[in-house]
Amino acid sequence: MENLHKVGGSVKRLRQAGTQLWHGLVDAAIALFSDLTTKPAQNFINYLNKHRHRIVNYQYYQAEQICSIGSGFVESAVKQIDRRTKISGAQWNKENVPQVLAHRCAYLNGLLTISSKPKR
């Protein structure tokens, strides 16, 4: 969707393409631009062909409440991790970062529990 506005042209056609992509109808969206010979239109068609395996039926996933389709949660987590890696005085060993992130993901997904045992 972020590349759709670069095609330009008819607002009606752009809206139709947006709706078709929302429903995962890549071929139908491509067909809307197949008669255009402009560079932006051809670039968009090439983009859709290259990434068609990543374009899902978002409307279905949203209606079935299968998963969140927004990226805000992920972007927020990335910002938090970025801030934590830049704490003044903190030292991070590159080799340890994947393990720390794996533990954090496991904890957030409920796969890792922290037990508090009383000290003796």
Q: Is the dihedral of CA 15, 19, 20, 26 positive or negative?
A: positive
Tell me: do 50 and 79 sit in the same domain. no
Q: CA 87, 93, 80 angle in degrees (round to 5)?
A: 35
Q: Does residue 48 lie within any of the structural domains?
A: yes
Q: Do 24 and 54 fall into the same domain?
A: yes
Instruction: For the beta carbon of residue 33, count every other beta carbon within 10 angstroms.
Output: 21
Give the number of domains in the chain.
Answer: 2
The residue segments making up the domain with residue 95 are: 72-108
Nearest to 23 by CA among 53, 51, 56: 56
pLDDT digits (tens, 9 = 90+) for 15-69: 999 999 989 899 999 999 999 889 999 999 999 999 988 888 778 877 777 766 6
Say if 114 falls within a structural domain.
Answer: no
Shared domain for 57 and 76, answered yes or no, is: no
| 81 belongs to a structural domain | yes
Q: 82 and 33 in one domain?
A: no
Overall pTM > 0.85: no
